[in-house]
């Protein structure tokens, strides 16, 4: 595996600032998580932006597209807010010859019991086995990008 990781923000990276009684998107957590999990493969991490995915602009998505297309890696993992994840993924469909998996978390990685580590694991496992294309790994499932939606009320991803 020759993996490049692009971080964009989202719930997975949210931390809590007592000073402001507020949370904010913090530093990308994925590098530290992979390290602590004993991951033994080489990877690079690039922080594209730190945003809630509802705040992503067309320019942001164009930037993510460029970073994913131009990187030398065949496998690309994108950590992303969940609300705009499908939309970003759909815009990456025209990238050929790469396996791209988007993932994130419904609870910040800093929380006890967060789904962040599990989702990243699913994405990493899928990246090593899936054909080129764009996928979302959430709720333990690997979805092709044009066959998935976020069910906002139920707060989970499901096949369409």
In the complex, the residues that contact its own copies under the rule CB under 8 A are 1, 11, 14, 16, 18-19, 21-23, 33-34, 36-41, 52, 54, 81-83, 106-108, 110-113, 115, 117-131, 137, 139-142, 152, 155-158
Q: Rounded to the nearest whole angstrom, what is the least distance from the CB of residue 49 to its own copies in the complex? A: 16
**Which CB sits closer to its own copies, 49 or 121?**
121
Nearer to its own copies, 6 or 33 (CB): 33
Distance from chain centroid for Cα 102: 4
- Least distance from C-beta 66 to its own copies, angstroms? 26
- Residue 139 DSSP SS3: coil
Toward its own copies, which CB reaches closer, 36 or 57?
36
Of residues 26 and 65, the one with the C-beta less far from its own copies:
26
Q: What are the CB-based long-range contacts (under 8 Å, 24+) for 62-66?
A: 64/6, 64/8, 64/88, 64/91, 64/92, 65/91, 65/92, 65/95
Closest contact distance (angstroms) between CB of 112 and its own copies is 5
CB of 141 to its own copies, least distance (A): 5
**Residue 141 contacts by C-beta under 8 Å, 6 or more apart in sequence?**
122, 157, 159
In 3D space, the residue among 114, 87, 98 whose CA is nearest the CA of residue 29 turns out to be 114
5/64 with CB nearer its own copies: 5
- Report the phi/psi class of residue 113: left, alpha or beta, with left for phi > 0 and alpha for psi in -120 to 50: left
Eight-state DSSP code of residue 156: E
Query: What's the closest the beta carbon of residue 146 comes to its own copies, in angstroms?
Result: 16
């Amino acid at each position: 595996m020759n993996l490049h990781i692009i971080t964009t923000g989202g719930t997975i990276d949210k931390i809590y600032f007592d000073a402001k009684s507020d949370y904010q998107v913090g530093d990308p957590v994925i590098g530290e998580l992979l390290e602590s999990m004993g991951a033994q493969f080489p990877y690079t991490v690039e922080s594209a932006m730190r945003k809630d995915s509802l705040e992503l602009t067309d320019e942001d998505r164009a930037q993510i597209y460029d970073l994913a297309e131009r990187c030398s890696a065949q496998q690309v993992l994108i950590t992303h807010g969940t609300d705009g994840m499908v939309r970003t993924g759909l815009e990456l469909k025209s990238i050929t010859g790469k396996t791209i998996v988007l993932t994130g978390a419904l609870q910040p990685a800093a929380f006890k019991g967060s789904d962040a580590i599990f989702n990243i694991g699913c994405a990493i496992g899928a990246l090593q086995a899936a054909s080129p294309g764009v996928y979302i790994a959430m709720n333990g499932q690997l979805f092709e990008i044009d066959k998935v939606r976020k069910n906002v009320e139920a707060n989970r991803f499901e096949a369409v």
